[in-house]
Structure 1
């Protein structure tokens, strides 16, 4: 899977190093789902970073 720099990050940290390493598809799917449910942007950022923390905790492997 390929990451796309500058597009796969959270909205508040456009140059977040963790966001640049995750494939763009997963984060965009989560972001799109949250926006369809009218979740606030700050909550969206918290969710995205929680997902990133989970992924990095498992060392980018399926748990």
Structure 2
């Protein structure tokens, strides 16, 4: 996976870095828009994430 961290301040990038970041960002957006997997409803994702967070909290408390 080609991951590139989001720069904290885009104004601080050199023109070369800015062009590279722009290319990377556009590629990520393009891939996401072409994704064919079924969408997961927001409520379902939020429910799953709440359950995950609660389970992690319980694991931390038990150690």
- The answer, yes or no, to whether TM exceeds 0.5 is no
The structure in which a higher percent of residues are helix is 2
Mark the structure with the bigger radius of gyration.
2
Flag the structure with more relative contact order, 1 or 2, with Cα contacts below 8 A and sequence separation at least 6: 1
TM-score by length of 2: 0.37
TM-score by length of 1: 0.37
